[in-house]
Amino acid sequence: MTTTELPRTVTEAPADKVTHVVIGQRVAKIEGVDKVTGKALYGADTSRPGMLWGKMLPSPHAHAIITSIDLSAARALPGVFAVITGADLPGIVARISETDLTPEEFDTPSRGKQILAWKKVVFFGQPVVAVAAVTPAIAEEALALIKVVYEPLPVVVDPEAAMRPDAPLVQNAVFTETFSGKATTPSNIAKVTELSRGNVDEAIANAEVTVSGTFRTAMVHQGYIEPQACLAEYSADGRFTIWTSTQGQFGVRGGLSGFLKIPPRRIRVTASEIGGGFGAKGAMTLEPICTLLAYSAGRPVKMQLTRSEVLRATRPAPDAVMHVTLGARTDGTLLGARAAFIWDVGAYPGGGSVGGINCGFGPYIVPAYSYDGYDVLTNRPSTGAYRAPNGPQGAFAVESALDMLARKLGISPITLRLRNAVREGDRNPSDVPYPRIGFRETLEAIENHPVWASPKATSSRPGWLRGRGVACGLWGGGVGTSMAHVNIGEDGSAVIVTGAVDLAGTRTTMAQIAAEELQIPFERVNIVQPDTDTAPFNNPTGGSRLTYSLGTAVYRAAIDARTKLKQRASQQFRCPADEVDYRDGEFWVRSDPSIRLTIGQVARSAAGSGDGPVVGTGEVTHLLRAPAFATQLVEVEVDPETGAVQVVNVVAAQDVGRAINPTACEGQIQGGVVQGIGWALTEGYVYDEQGRLRNPGLLDYRMPTALDAPNIECVLVEVPAIDGPYGVRGVGEVPIVPTPAAVANAVFDACAGRVTSLPLCGEPVIVAMSDSRTGVDRSQMVMFNLGPIPTGNSSAPESPGEEPKLATEVEDYCAEDDVAEPEIE
Residues lying near other proteins in the complex (CB under 8 A) are found at 136-137, 140-141, 144, 306-308, 641-644, 646, 681-682, 686, 694-695, 697, 699-700, 702, 704-705, 707-708, 759, 761-763, 766
Pairing of strands 127-133, 52-58: antiparallel
Torsion of CA 312, 315, 321, 326, to 10 degrees: -150
Q: What is each CA distance from 642 to 84, 465, 743, 754, 763, in whole angstroms?
A: 50, 12, 17, 16, 8
The amino acid that residue 44 corresponds to is: A
Considering the complex, what minimum distance in angstroms separates the CB of residue 27 from other proteins? 32
Select 311 or 630, whichever has its Cβ closest to other proteins: 311
For residue 296, give the DSSP letter: H
Beta bridge partner(s), residue 70: 147
Select 155 or 472, whichever has its Cβ closest to other proteins: 155
* Nearest residue to 325 via CA among 317, 333, 334: 334
Marked catalytic residue, from 177, 194, 517, 733: 733
Considering the complex, what minimum distance in angstroms separates the CB of residue 308 from other proteins? 6
Angle, alpha carbons 151-158-685 (nearest 5°): 95
Q: Please give the Cα distance from 429 to 369 (Å, whole number).
A: 9
Select 622 or 702, whichever has its Cβ closest to other proteins: 702
Considering the complex, what minimum distance in angstroms separates the CB of residue 54 from other proteins? 16
Considering the complex, what minimum distance in angstroms separates the CB of residue 526 from other proteins? 36
Longest dimension (CA), the chain: 89
Considering the complex, what minimum distance in angstroms separates the CB of residue 123 from other proteins? 17
Select 672 or 678, whichever has its Cβ closest to other proteins: 678
H or E element at residue 256: helix 249-260
Considering the complex, what minimum distance in angstroms separates the CB of residue 686 from other proteins? 4
Q: Please give the Cα distance from 201 to 282 (Å, whole number).
A: 40
Q: Please give the Cα distance from 550 to 534 (Å, whole number).
A: 17
Residues 733/628, Cβ–Cβ less than 8 Å: yes
Q: What is each CA distance from 544 to 70, 278, 387, 477, 584, in whole angstroms?
A: 46, 10, 9, 6, 31
Select 143 or 659, whichever has its Cβ closest to other proteins: 143
Residues 291/810, Cβ–Cβ less than 8 Å: no
* Nearest residue to 210 via CA among 376, 409, 20: 409
Q: Burial of 694 by CB count in 10 Å (0-12 exposed, 13-18 middle, 19+ buried)? A: exposed
Select 653 or 746, whichever has its Cβ closest to other proteins: 746
Q: How many CB atoms lie within 10 A of CB 135?
A: 11
Select 697 or 801, whichever has its Cβ closest to other proteins: 697
Task: Let me know if 733 is a catalytic residue.
Answer: yes
Select 167 or 311, whichever has its Cβ closest to other proteins: 311
Select 58 or 627, whichever has its Cβ closest to other proteins: 58
Beta strands (DSSP E) in 198-281 are 209-217, 229-234, 240-244, 267-271
Select 155 or 766, whichever has its Cβ closest to other proteins: 766
Pairing of strands 181-186, 189-197: unpaired
Considering the complex, what minimum distance in angstroms separates the CB of residue 760 from other proteins? 10
| Core vs surface per residue 525-546: b (16+ CB within 10 A) or e | bbbebebbeebbbbbbbbbbbb
Evaluated on CA atoms 192, 196, 201, 204, the torsion sign reads: negative
Select 369 or 679, whichever has its Cβ closest to other proteins: 679
Helix axes 413-420, 439-447, angle to 10 degrees: 160
Considering the complex, what minimum distance in angstroms separates the CB of residue 761 from other proteins? 5
Backbone angles phi, psi at 629, to 5 degrees: -120, 150
Considering the complex, what minimum distance in angstroms separates the CB of residue 394 from other proteins? 25
Considering the complex, what minimum distance in angstroms separates the CB of residue 780 from other proteins? 23
Beta bridge partner(s), residue 64: 121, 152
Residues 435/729, Cβ–Cβ less than 8 Å: no
Q: Please give the Cα distance from 486 to 501 (Å, whole number).
A: 17
Considering the complex, what minimum distance in angstroms separates the CB of residue 697 from other proteins? 6
Give the distance, in angstroms, between the CA of residue 434 and the centroid of all CA atoms in the same chain: 21
Residues 619/550, Cβ–Cβ less than 8 Å: no
Give the distance, in angstroms, between the CA of residue 473 and the centroid of all CA atoms in the same chain: 15
Q: Please give the Cα distance from 626 to 362 (Å, whole number).
A: 14
Q: Please give the Cα distance from 661 to 649 (Å, whole number).
A: 24
Q: Please give the Cα distance from 550 to 509 (Å, whole number).
A: 10
Considering the complex, what minimum distance in angstroms separates the CB of residue 42 from other proteins? 18
Select 142 or 289, whichever has its Cβ closest to other proteins: 142
Catalytic residue numbers read: 733
